[in-house]
Amino acid sequence: MSINIHKMRYLPLVAALALAGCGGDDGGMGSASALSSAGAPQPGSTPTVTTPPSAPPPATANVDKSVPPVELPDTVVPVNYRLWFRPNDALNAFDGRADVEIKVLKPVNNIVIAGHRIKFANGRVTLQPGNIQLIATPQDKGDYYQLRPVSGTIAAGNYSLHMEWSGIINFKSYDDPVTKTGGSCGDDPYPGCSAAEGVFRVDLKGTDGKTSGAILTQGETNLARQWFPGWDEPAFRPTYEVTAEVPQSWRVVSNAAEKPSTNVGGGYKLVQFEKTPPMPSYLLFFGGGMFDTYEDNFTSPLPGGKGGLHLRVFTPPGMSDWAKPAMDRTKQALDFYYRYTGIPLPLTKFDTVAANDAFKEQKDLNFGGMENWGSILEFADDILPQPGQPMSQYGNEVLTHEVAHQWFGDLVTTDWWDDVWLNESFATFFETKTTIQFFPDQFSWLDQVKNKYRVINRDIGPNAFPVAPNFNDWASNDFVLSASAFTYDKGGHVLKMLENYLGEQTLRHGLQQYLVDYSFGNGTPKRLWDALSKASGQPVGPIGDSYVRQTGVPLISLDTQCDLTKNQTVVTLKQQPFPNKNAYPGLQWTVPLTLAYGQGLAKHTTLALKGTQTQTRIEGCTGVVADPSGLDYYVVNYSDAAWSGLLTQINTSTDPVLLANLKSEAALLVANNLAPASRSTSIGSVASPAAMKLRQTPSFGGIAPVEKERPTLRYQGMFKPRKTVAQ
């Protein structure tokens, strides 16, 4: 999901693609190899995409793809939903029913399901076989119901659970807009009201200026329970067969392909969709209204054309001709991800739904796009430029972000919302890759560095959150997490740093292993680290966990001494937390370091700093720089000797990205009284002219600054069990 700021604009992640270095070691003499002339990727370079795409590795044998549920019991498992619903004529309420194939794994007194703002129909909740009447009883805490038999228990076995209910079609309103009380938002118990919850209404506005009501759905994070009652958390992956009765004039869309419709009278038709792949409830989607469509086909680049898709862009009336850029971007993005992963989508079609933005103008709409599997949701002013106009940078990024989620989030889903970075950090990381690949004119290497320091400043401030918090340490019911800058941006920087350290192809092979092993299942940090460790032959877990499970940034002290007897430079490295205002700051990291040295900083070595300090030796008496890409997530404070040696190796022709990082790094150190003011002066005289030179190249493009925190993601329910954290 993309999250917006201001008009809910989402700031794209800023981790840039760098040419890969080799794997790390524990210290000592590292392996040396040549980088580009500046020891870092050059502005305007693009990532390589293997043609033809490399096949993913075989799945690891006997892998457990499941995770235990967090809030709901693990005694009842949904297998398949046959879901029906019908909106009323006023588009403010709907009726729903479902027949759910379930497995009861052991005898239970009740079946616990999630439901919010729905009302069960009396006597219409039953269990077959046996025609067992169930009473829906709300629990005292949370959005949960116990479905209890009138007497006795429910034996283990396979059942069909029938439920009927009515629900609300959300539309943002207040009875008193000044005080923001009453109405659909004033009665919302959660902070940051948005009508984009469960089933919600939008008013499509056509090119002729006329408006018509339409409905969409939004399930992330725990909002699907406003549409249908059930197992609304990522651990459960049933299949779904969606049916709806809607006005005859509507075009409809859901995750799977549509079947022929049937006239049911009264101006309505019955539409049915094929069965979806197994997926969590938050990804289920339905849209209906007076949409136009723009259609095309995607030809898979995989052997035999495996995974080809029929493509559609749903637009407001009269705007189908505006959808060609979005269609082109979708095909580019799909081609990129097919080639990168080697894994086709398990779908026959792929839709993009572009709704009008009268609703989006509301200040506290909490998302800018949604990755529903096979039917992503976007907004018209982002991805539908007027005919003859190009799509905006933001439109390109948000579209490729949601397409990336089809693999990272949909095919493999996070285990729980405190690990949502497993979805979002990757989608944002790949945003940058696709921007560099297809729109280098919209990409700025310098702005990647600037954004890294914006994130670092947030990370050392009083409101920092871990990328992957453990909810049972500091969470409660109705938990509100203002951590999007970390789950999206910092997480993406960590992934970029791992790519720099492990190598681009090694990271790619590790991600392929992760996707193959956990397809149609759940990812966890450990499962990701294990896949990367398998691909690289190195222990990635200590690095990854030290960065995602604590706040702050490591401060690396770097000193150099020349050993003339061996013609080597002795590099001493120490770490401590950068001074911060965190309530619970990180204390120590396993830091993946890249050191560049030699003439023009053209050689490099890598090592993992596991403890508080280490030493390594490099050939020749030379200046040394840590983080030659300028994109790794640590701050380096050079000793006077090391700084003097470094200055002898750089000049205005040195990689401007490296120089920009050194300049920003020096400014941060000086501002925190960790380095003399001369540090900024000495690097500024070199970095500023180089930056101006880069800004004059055609490849420079700007990225908007972070001006305020993103809106909150809402979490509700029990603490996450500790036992699941290590999985």
Q: Which two tokens stand for residue 312?
A: 């559609």
* Residue type at position 166: S
Domain with CATH 2.60.40.1730 in the chain: 76-232+239-277+280-409
What is the rounded distance in angstroms from the CA atom of residue 638 to the CA atom of residue 201? 57
What is the rounded distance in angstroms from the CA atom of residue 404 to the CA atom of residue 391? 18
Residue 314 reports pLDDT greater than 60:
yes
Q: Convert the pLDDT of each residue in 38-97 to its tens digit.
A: 333 333 333 444 455 778 999 999 999 999 999 999 999 999 999 999 999 999 999 999
Which residue in 382, 402, 379, 405 sits closest to 393, CA to CA?
A: 382
Q: Which two tokens stand for residue 405?
A: 């989620």
Q: Convert the pLDDT of each residue in 256-298 to its tens digit.
A: 999 999 999 999 999 999 999 999 999 999 999 999 999 999 9
| pLDDT score recorded for residue 161 | 99
What is the rounded distance in angstroms from the CA atom of residue 57 to the CA atom of residue 38? 34
Which of the four CATH numbers 1.10.390.10, 1.10.40.30, 3.30.70.920, 3.40.50.2300 does domain 33-64+420-695 have?
A: 1.10.390.10
| DSSP H or E stretch at residue 138 | strand 132-138
Binding-site positions: 401, 405, 424
List 120's β-bridge partners, or say none.
Answer: 165
Residue 190 reports pLDDT greater than 60:
no
At residue 688 the predicted structure's pLDDT band, cuts being 50, 70 and 90, is: low
* 220 part of the active site: no
CA distance between the termini of the chain: 24
| pLDDT score recorded for residue 615 | 98
* Residue type at position 693: K
Neighbour-count burial of 155, counting CB atoms closer than 10 A to its CB (0-12 exposed, 13-18 middle, 19+ buried): exposed
Mean pLDDT for 459-482 is: 64
List 256's β-bridge partners, or say none.
Answer: none
Q: Convert the pLDDT of each residue in 554-584 to its tens digit.
A: 999 999 999 999 999 999 999 999 999 998 8
Residue 20 reports pLDDT greater than 90:
no
Catalytic pick among 197, 371, 397, 402: 402
Mean pLDDT for 511-527 is: 98
Q: Which residue has the higher pLDDT, 196 or 493?
A: 493
CATH 2.60.40.1730 fits 76-232+239-277+280-409, yes or no: yes
What is the rounded distance in angstroms from the CA atom of residue 606 to the CA atom of residue 22? 7
CB neighbours of residue 671 within 10 Å: 11
Between 64-73, 297-306, 379-388, 475-484, the lowest mean confidence (pLDDT) is in 475-484
Q: Quick check: 61 and 534 in contact, CB under 8 A? A: no
Residue 626 reports pLDDT greater than 70:
yes
Angle between helices 656-671 and 677-695 in degrees, nearest 10: 150
What is the rounded distance in angstroms from the CA atom of residue 718 to the CA atom of residue 140? 13
What is the rounded distance in angstroms from the CA atom of residue 698 to the CA atom of residue 49? 23
- For residues 577-604, b (16+ Cβ closer than 10 Å) or e, as one string? bbebebeebbeebbbbbbbbbbebbbbb
Binding-site positions for Zn(2+): 401, 405, 424
Residues 6+ apart with CB under 8 A from 560: 569, 570, 571, 572, 623, 624, 639, 641, 642, 645
Angle between helices 421-438 and 491-502 in degrees, nearest 10: 60
| DSSP H or E stretch at residue 616 | strand 613-619
Q: Convert the pLDDT of each residue in 323-357 to its tens digit.
A: 999 999 999 999 999 999 999 999 999 999 998 75
What is the rounded distance in angstroms from the CA atom of residue 401 to the CA atom of residue 370? 9
Q: Convert the pLDDT of each residue in 645-654 to its tens digit.
A: 999 999 867 8
Q: Quick check: 371 and 402 in contact, CB under 8 A? A: yes
Residue 719 reports pLDDT greater than 50:
no
Q: Which two tokens stand for residue 617?
A: 């030796």
What is the rounded distance in angstroms from the CA atom of residue 220 to the CA atom of residue 484? 14
Mean pLDDT for 620-640 is: 97
Domain with CATH 1.10.390.10 in the chain: 33-64+420-695
| pLDDT score recorded for residue 465 | 87
- For residues 312-340, b (16+ Cβ closer than 10 Å) or e, as one string? bbbbbbebbebbbbbbebbbbbbbbbbbb
DSSP state of 565: T
Q: Which two tokens stand for residue 546?
A: 């030290």
Percent of residues, the chain, with pLDDT higher than 70: 81
Q: Specify the 3-state DSSP secondary structure of 261.
A: coil
Q: Which two tokens stand for residue 192?
A: 């940051």
Q: Convert the pLDDT of each residue in 667-676 to its tens digit.
A: 999 999 999 9
* Angle in degrees, CA 375, 379, 385, rounded to 5: 115
Q: Which two tokens stand for residue 364?
A: 């506290």
Q: Which two tokens stand for residue 6?
A: 């201001």
Q: Quick check: 201 and 214 in contact, CB under 8 A? A: yes
The model's pTM is 0.88
